[in-house]
Amino acid sequence: MKIAEIKPGKVEIQGFIENLRDKKNMQFVVIRDLSGKIQITVVKSEKPEIAEIFSHATLESTVKVVGEAVANEFVKLGGIEIIPDYVELTSKAEALPIGPESFIDQRLDYRWLDLRQEKNQLLFQVQTTMTNALREFLLNKDFIEIHTPKLIPTASESGSEVFEVKYFDRKAYLAQSPQFYKQMAMASGFERIFECGPVFRAEKSHTKKHATEFTGFDIEFSYINSFEDVMKLEEEMLTYMLQKIKEKHGEKIKEVYGVEVIVPTLPFPKMKLQDIYKELEERYNFTVPDEEKVDLTTEAEKLCEQLAKDKFNHEFLFVTDYGPEKRAFYHMRKNGILQGYDLIWKGIEITSGAQREHRYEIIKQQAKEKGLDKDVEFYLEFFKYGMPTHGGFGLGLDRIIMLLLNISTIKESMFIFRGPDRLNP
């Protein structure tokens, strides 16, 4: 039975030993499971065999306890304690090599122990609600969930930042994104799809927001008129997700992380890249050389948090009108303007999205301009036999949870972090 469900009467529980006070005549042992904590009280003279077991037990060992739960107003933990009839030490723990105050890299070495902390367990409960809410939102709109291969024949998207793997007597690559296959689903007439799965990036970045493997939540849908349709779906989806998280975990998040979950207002503010640079200069005296203005620099991205707040009283900001130089070849362009966007939340990019170029001759030409036409030959085939207008976006889930809970690095928002220097545990 779960500890949180204990009521006076016969009980059987299992959990970790959180605390153990071995007094002259009594023992007070606190047992913890995911749902809560409870005190076990042993009168040594009455239960010498149980007292013997606890006298050799160590903190974080696991135990099974059978006994009688009784109300006791002097017990701080919920006014209830267990008087045990039977105790079994199911595993004995060695002294723990880390604590909550250890450095992050030490904690990551022993991630399974680090995850025992309440705040980490909450994080994954919130993440579960998050993906569930995203799914629910999309399923209500008749989206189909797909699972695309992660072993792919050619380097995807940009050609760089891709992991090469030995595939029998030839080379394969780990997918940098499900991009090609989610677009293939449009050619298959699936109309609306999503995928939640691993994404691999061979980037040697040591920043708070980069991992070499992360979880992507990707969406693609057909018969759109512009990338505005894509932004609209995304803002509605994120609002729904934050609403669900607030309902279910808002109070706990505030208590454990000190963060207020804010359900955003619709529509999200939108700004053109060039207008952002103009306002950043006017408002905060921030400038970058003109040649860098084809993309949002990391510093400018950070300042977008302030800008979104000051100008729109919002946490989110859609950035549009990027130049084609820095962007993927599959984005549609109109008069040289990219029909795509990034979404910035609290000063960090969480999404890229776009209307895609669906016309065979044009997409082929755009791939050629980036020197990718040979690499993506198989993908270009998808466009030859009828391809609906379509668009979509990709969300980085680990970044979203990091920003939601105001965690200082993505290393702590992933179950297991993978970076340039980390392939363990």
Binding site for ligand AMO (CB under 6 A): 177, 179, 201, 203, 210-211, 214, 216, 218, 349-354, 392-394, 396, 398-399
Q: Which region holds residue 285: left if phi is over 0, alpha if psi is between -120 and 50, else beta?
A: left
Shortest-Cβ-distance residue relative to ligand AMO: 396
Q: Tell me how crowded residue 412 is: count the other CB atoms within 10 A of its CB.
A: 21
| Residue 33 and residue 14 in contact, taking contact as beta carbons nearer than 8 Å | yes
Report the chain's C-alpha Rg in angstroms: 27
Considering Cα of 227, then 229, then 230, then 235, what sign does the dihedral take?
Answer: positive
Query: In the complex with ligand AMO, which residue's Cβ is closer, 218 or 305?
Result: 218
Query: In the complex with ligand AMO, which residue's Cβ is closer, 253 or 414?
Result: 414
CB of 67 to ligand AMO, least distance (A): 47
- Residue-wise over 92-110: b if at least 16 C-beta within 10 A, else e? eeeeeeeeeebeeeebbbe
CB of 189 to ligand AMO, least distance (A): 19
| Residue 347 and residue 399 in contact, taking contact as beta carbons nearer than 8 Å | no
* Residues 6+ positions from 407 with CB-CB distance below 8 Å: 123, 257, 401, 413
SS3 298: helix
Query: In the complex with ligand AMO, which residue's Cβ is closer, 93 or 144?
Result: 144
CB of 218 to ligand AMO, least distance (A): 6
CB of 343 to ligand AMO, least distance (A): 8
Query: In the complex with ligand AMO, which residue's Cβ is closer, 67 or 216?
Result: 216
The continuous run of DSSP H or E covering 318 comes out as strand 316-320
CB of 32 to ligand AMO, least distance (A): 32
Query: In the complex with ligand AMO, which residue's Cβ is closer, 33 or 161?
Result: 161
CB of 344 to ligand AMO, least distance (A): 9
CB of 148 to ligand AMO, least distance (A): 12
Query: In the complex with ligand AMO, which residue's Cβ is closer, 54 or 345?
Result: 345
Query: In the complex with ligand AMO, which residue's Cβ is closer, 347 or 392?
Result: 392
SS3 34: coil
CA angle, 328 then 346 then 100, to 5°: 110
